[in-house]
A and B are shown apart, each in its own frame.
Chain A
Amino acid sequence: MKLRIVSFFAAALMAGFPLAAPAASSGPIVHIKNFMFVPATVTVTPGTTVSFVNDDEEPHTVTSTVKAFDSEGLDTNQTFKQTFAKTGTYLYFCEVHPYMHGTVIVKAAK
């Protein structure tokens, strides 16, 4: 999977394609460690992609409380990426361990 992405980018570069047309900007990484989202709250601008990485030996999910997004089961070292297009406050939790909560705040840049 990783290899395929790399080769796609390489091919795109060689062909001189603009890679970042209206693409999402990559944003913060939220680590899932010891059954916690760290940091529990991140604030980003619209269009930012937030990465969630499971550092635990236990599977977790990144699931919107209103089902706006859902990673499904993330195994150890698996990453889930979610782009937040619109401003707002997005609450999420782990469906396997529902006492784990996190928040993404999306605010327009000043």
Chain B
Amino acid sequence: MKRAAFLEHVGWTGGGIAFAMTATGTFAAAAPGSDFTFVQISDSHIGFSLPANPDVLGTLNATVDRINALPQQPAFVMHTGDVTHLSKVEQFDAAKSVLGRLKAPLFVIPGEHDAIGAEGVKRFAAAFPNAAAPDGWWSFDRNGVHFISLVNVFNFETMGVLGTKQLDWLEKDLKAQKADTPIVVFGHVPLYALYPAWGWTTEDGAKAIAMLKRFSAVTVLNGHIHQIITQREGNISFATAAATAYPQPAPGTAAAPGPLTVPAPELLGRLGYRNVSFTGTHATVSDRSLQAG
């Protein structure tokens, strides 16, 4: 049973950007489960109030409203980190009051802004406890798809590192999976060297990517860079997500990767959420902006 996966990148449309990651073959009908969807949101930076977006709580609220209004409710919503701007208790509390309105179950991965200092890491764990993830990373299965949630912001002095302990865990976790099981990997910082000069890379990410190569359909979904960039490597599709807070400059187009202030009418078109729907092993990824329509 030979299978090939491909990525179709449509570009921003009225409904956002859409691409399909498909495994072709005869097994689709036999895949367990049928239609199900999940949603990715990222980089809410609660506590930020500069001109790039003076109302980050408002745009997160708008994002939650959009997701709650989806005709097909997602199996879960995954927040891929930087929920807060400065790991402060009141910022976690404010974020939780908004995210708590989601109808679907919520999972959260820490970003480096949620893990500032030892206190930040503790506050994150207290705000979003997950018994299934004692070390931060974990995996779960839904409808025949294997989901892996990685943490690459916990290493003091070097951000964008998985570390030996997590890589060993990942190796064991993947060993138990069949090569034709669709794999979805979440993490905050991009797993590959997207733009190392700005820290947009995971130092030991190549080791994780090497482990994923034997699978026929892998989707890696990250946040951190506040813009949608897709990349393809063999059967692995990478896609970073838009933020709910503010955009950041395209790689290398500014002196530094800080917040990007765009004209006010353009802001909502740069923010949004990502809907991923599975039909069997066929995944369709669609990025939707907060722009009306």
- The answer, yes or no, to whether A89 is at the interface (CB within 8 Å) is no
The answer, among A34, A61, A76, for a CB contact under 8 Å with B255, is A34
A: contact size bracket? 20 to 34
Main secondary structure, interface of A, reads loop
How many chain B residues touch the partner (CB < 8 A)?
Answer: 23
Q: Mark A42-60, 1 if CB is under 8 A from B, else 0.
A: 0000000000000011110
B116: which of A36, A59, A65 is its contact (CB, 8 Å)?
A59
| B112 A96 Cβ-Cβ under 8 A | yes
Interface of chain B, helix or strand or loop or mixed? loop
Of residues 73 through 122 on chain B, the ones whose CB sits less than 8 Å from some CB of chain A are 85-88, 112-113, 116-117, 119-120
Q: Would B258 and A73 count as touching, CB distance under 8 A?
A: no
A57 CB, min distance to chain B CBs, angstroms: 5
14 contacts across the A-B interface (CB closer than 8 A): A34-B256, A35-B258, A59-B86, A61-B116, A70-B117, A93-B157, A95-B116, A95-B117, A96-B112, A96-B113, A96-B116, A96-B159, A97-B199, A98-B199
Binding site for B on A (CB under 8 A): 34-36, 56-59, 61, 63, 65, 70, 72-73, 75-76, 93, 95-99
Q: Which 9 A-B pairs have the closest CB atoms?
A: A73-B86, A35-B256, A34-B256, A58-B258, A73-B116, A34-B255, A57-B258, A57-B259, A98-B159
The chain B residues found within 8 Å of chain A, CB to CB, are 47, 50, 52, 85-88, 112-113, 116-117, 119-120, 156-159, 199, 255-259
